[in-house]
Amino acid sequence: EAQVTQNPRYLITVTGKKLTVTCSQNMNHEYMSWYRQDPGLGLRQIYYSMNVEVTDKGDVPEGYKVSRKEKRNFPLILESPSPNQTSLYFCASSLMTETEAFFGQGTRLTVV
């Protein structure tokens, strides 16, 4: 089954404790991206990747890092999480930027 898998689904952490949210896709897609979803603000792009070893900033990259060492994986790293990063996070992949994007189930992160 074609899918994007994120882990964990839920995470509560403390300010400053480094964390990683994993994302994996099995569709051999080149394009992957991370979004955060906040009430009233919709989906905002954090980082994206056009291919292996190619990443770039989206609209709200501050406080986040990503890596793309393999085509299927695109982890999101929060080196020092802060409460304003409490949000619902989605990973997505697509064959190209202007084709159907497949989203993961989401990761609800709470930073206290």
Residues numbered 73 to 112 that lie near other proteins (CB under 8 A) are 90, 92, 97-98, 100-101, 103-106
Q: Does 5 bind other proteins (CB under 8 A)?
A: no
What does the per-residue mask of binding to other proteins show for 39-58, with x meaning CB under 8 A?
-xxxxxx--x-x-----x-x
Per DSSP, the residues of the chain read ---EEEE-SEEEE-TT--EEEEEEESS--SEEEEEEEETTTEEEEEEEEEETTEEEE-S--TT-EE--SSSSB--EEESS--GGG-EEEEEEEESSTTSPPEE---EEEEE-
Binding residues for other proteins, rule: CB under 8 A, are 4, 31, 33, 35, 40-45, 48, 50, 56, 58-59, 90, 92, 97-98, 100-101, 103-106
